[in-house]
Amino acid sequence: MAKIKAFTMPKWGIEMSEGTIAEWMVAEGAAFEKGALLALIETDKITNDVEAEAPGRFVRIIAQAGETYPVGALLAVLSDGDEVGAAEIDALIAGFKPADTSFTGDDSSNPEPASEPAPVPDDLDISPVARARAAAAGIDVASINGTGRGGRISVQDVDQVARPAPSVALVGPYSATPESSAFASPMARRLASVHGIVLETLQGTGPRGRICKADVLALVKAPAPVGETAKTPGPDGSGMTIQPMTATRRTIARRLTEAKQSIPHFYVRRRVRADRLLAIRPAFEGERPTVNDLLVRACALALMEVPALNIQVHETAIHRFDHAHIAIAVATDKGLVTPILANADALSVAEISSRSRELVERARAGRLKADEISGGSFSLSNLGGFGVEQFDAIINPPQGAILAVGAARPEPIDDDGAIRIVPVLHLSLSCDHRAIDGADGGRFLAALADLIERPRLLM
């Protein structure tokens, strides 16, 4: 006999409350082996691969690709591989109850106390399993009429009493079907009435030219799929495109709004000469590092020199780190993602370059792991590649600071009394004033400027 079970929205991390089905990788009814990729689920800023724990097949897929579901929601029904009757699948779906995934410990909702186990008379004709289930559920078996042999109470009888009564929602009558002389089926008339379609304007494709359901539905405008754009008239009548936010974009919007509202930002700015930093790139063996690779290395060493910025802020506690875990901002088609270069202070420029390329590629492909986007102690956002000269960045909580870097542009500087025109970088440091003082920000930028202007220290 086939075994079936629920396939639910998993929970990755304590803060996860919902996920989006990015794509089903296995079709309904198709067999798969252990380890097969079943679905891609987008949560927060990453897309997670869900692999099969055992061979089987989806006998019913319920969740739609592109839609968002809470943790614990029923997404599909799994079988161990054998065929399953529709009635058995329907029964599992009807009786499914999501697991409680909350972690607040809040009892403000005042739930009803659990029922006290009801005593079951010893001389009652009831099966042992039904007796135990009735006692655990607090069911008074005296009111149950047994359907077993000789009136014996079975477990099915107990389950029938324990099952909550189905709720009925009254939605009102169907719209009245207007009188029409058109030769059409009752369903076609109903659909035409609902969607405001005049039957006389249709050419029927049914027997003897009868207008059928398909003829009406062919004129019904299908709604735009979830996540796709929809056209609508603009204020001037020229039209505009409405595109729903993806789960990733919604997360970015929520986190940055919270950061800007709850974190007291202050900014420290400085410009540094970058000619020596640019000139040293060919000196590295192997593939030439990017400017961003060198900046990551410089930030990591500066954080070791000024550890006051190598922190996370958690309400009234400050978490200080022994190593620099630097988040690098990566632009993807789904929004900004910040993978973490862990222990960057212990990595060489070549190691940072290799690891950065790998993280950027997987970030843009949506294949980052959960531990690769959490745990950062500092962020670096470089828009120099887009020609941006300078900007201020919003802190990525719970980190305490983020450095914004623009493109190197020729500017005059004082070089031991001589005026020279050299490439100059504009640095802007955003700090959380709850944990970092202005003097700390100034010391960090001074240490960083020294490393950039004396890049041999990075090697």
The separation between CA 262 and the C-alpha centre of its own chain, rounded to angstroms, equals 22
Degrees (nearest 5) of the Cα angle 89, 95, 97? 120
Q: At residue 22, what is the residue type?
A: A
**pLDDT for residue 45:** 59
Closest CA to 204 of 194, 193, 195, 192: 192
* Residue pLDDT, tens place only, 206-216: 877 888 888 88
Q: Tokens 């410009």 — which residue? A: 271
Q: What is the CATH number of domain 116-172?
A: 4.10.320.10
Provide the token pair at 353.
């370059």
| Crossing angle (nearest 10°) for helices 349-364 and 291-305 | 120
Say if residue 197's pLDDT is above 50.
yes
**pLDDT for residue 231:** 61
Per DSSP bridges, beta strands 68-70 and 18-24 are antiparallel
The continuous run of DSSP H or E covering 79 comes out as strand 74-79
**pLDDT for residue 104:** 45
Q: Which fold has domain 175-222?
A: Dihydrolipoamide Transferase (4.10.320)
DSSP E strand stretches across 275-361: 311-314, 317-320, 326-328, 330-332, 335-337, 340-341
**pLDDT for residue 409:** 95
The continuous run of DSSP H or E covering 162 comes out as helix 155-162
Alpha helices in 263-339 (DSSP H): 275-279, 291-305
Instruction: Tell me the domain boundaries of the chain.
Output: 4-95, 116-172, 175-222, 248-458
CATH class assigned to 4-95: mainly beta
Is residue 125 very low, low, confident or very high in pLDDT (cuts 50, 70, 90)? confident
Torsions phi, psi of 369, nearest 5? -90, 160
Q: Is the dihedral of CA 356, 361, 362, 366 positive or negative?
A: positive
List all residues 6 or more positions away from 253 whose beta carbon is below 8 Å from its beta carbon.
245
Q: Considering only 86-95, 114-123, 216-225, 433-442, which range has the smallest mean pLDDT?
A: 114-123
**Residue 147 CB neighbours (<10 A):** 12
Closest CA to 380 of 400, 410, 403, 399: 403
Q: Is the dihedral of CA 220, 223, 229, 235 positive or negative?
A: positive
Q: Considering only 38-52, 61-75, 92-106, 247-261, which range has the smallest mean pLDDT?
A: 92-106
Let me know if the fold of 116-172 is the same as that of 175-222.
yes
**pLDDT for residue 254:** 83
List all residues 6 or more positions away from 85 whose beta carbon is below 8 Å from its beta carbon.
none
User: Rounded to two decimals, what is the model's pTM?
Assistant: 0.59
Give the rounded percent of residues in the chain with a pLDDT score beyond 70.
85
CB–CB of 427/433 below 8 Å? no
**pLDDT for residue 215:** 86
Residues 178, 193: Cα–Cα separation, whole Å: 7
* Residue pLDDT, tens place only, 328-347: 999 888 788 899 999 999 99
Provide the token pair at 81.
């591989």
Q: Tokens 């001074």 — which residue? A: 446
* Residue pLDDT, tens place only, 129-176: 778 777 777 787 777 877 777 777 877 777 777 766 555 554 444 444
Say if residue 319's pLDDT is above 90.
yes
| Crossing angle (nearest 10°) for helices 438-453 and 291-305 | 130
Closest CA to 178 of 163, 196, 203: 196
Which option is the CATH number for 248-458: 1.10.3720.10, 3.40.50.970, 3.30.559.10, 3.40.50.300? 3.30.559.10
Residues 458, 131: Cα–Cα separation, whole Å: 75
Q: At residue 420, what is the residue type?
A: R
Residues 267, 378: Cα–Cα separation, whole Å: 15
List all residues 6 or more positions away from 255 whose beta carbon is below 8 Å from its beta carbon.
396, 397
Residues marked as catalytic: 433
Give the rounded percent of residues in the chain with a pLDDT score beyond 90.
39
